[in-house]
Amino acid sequence: MSDYQIHFFRDGIHTHLVLPSSVLLKYIPALQQQLQDCPWARIGWGDFQYYGSSQQTLLSAARALLLPSTAVISVLGVNSIREEITETNRIYSIDSNQLIIEAVAQFITSYFKKNSQGEPTAVREKPSGEAFFKARGIYMLTNTCNNWTSRGLRIAGLRCLPLLNFFPGQVEKSVRRNGYLPLL
């Protein structure tokens, strides 16, 4: 295992990237409150109305996929990668280096919509502490969280086809094809 790592995180239908929070804070210091001294930052991207909403219905899921909409980006501070492993979550550690981690952080940072003070705009927070911010990009059937995560993994050096990774299982297969297995 390398001293430098990023992680691919899958929890059911959604996928995330996990990287050292210190690197993300270097680009967006305003996230200090959300990361609260956690060594890791779990980041995801998704539909504004559905992702992170307390009202996730089948109808709102269908709308998210069928009607192009604005997006949000989520941030959750993580103290221990291994503590995030559950029966439904799978996490893969991906060997990296500082330059790649910086490139992935810049990719993530480019998706935050910033206000006139240059800071991200919060839109909601879950009781778990996961915070959601206005994001760049249009969410739709052909541009989902899984495509977004795949783009980040491609920047991290994995061979994958982001345009074809619509479902979380496809992203996970790409990670496995690159020789990575889930943490146990």
Give the model confidence (pLDDT) of 101-133 as tens digits.
Answer: 999 999 999 999 999 999 999 999 998 889 999
Residue 160 located in a structural domain: yes
Residue 62 lies in a domain: yes
> Is residue 165 in a domain?
yes
Region class of 52: left (phi > 0), else alpha (psi between -120 and 50), else beta: left
Q: Residue 2 has what pLDDT?
A: 53
Domain total in the chain? 1
3-state secondary structure the chain: CCCCEEEEEEECCEEEEEEEHHHHHHHCHHHHHHHCCCCEEEEEEEECCCCCCCCCCHHHHHHHHHCCEEEEEEEEEECCCHHHCCCCEEEEEEECCHHHHHHHHHHHHCCECECCCCCECEEEECCCCCEEEEEEEEEECCECHHHHHHHHHHHCCCCCCHHHCCCHHHHHHHHHHCCCCCCC
Residue 182 lies in a domain: no
pLDDT digits (tens, 9 = 90+) for 3-42: 689 999 998 888 999 999 999 999 999 999 999 889 999 9
Question: Does residue 147 lie in a domain region?
Answer: yes
Q: What is the domain extent for residue 34?
A: 5-174
Please indicate, yes or no, if residue 16 is contained in any of the structural domains.
yes
pLDDT of residue 1 exceeding 50, the answer is no
39 lies in some domain: yes
Q: What percent of the chain has pLDDT above 90?
A: 68
The answer as to whether 97 is a domain residue is: yes
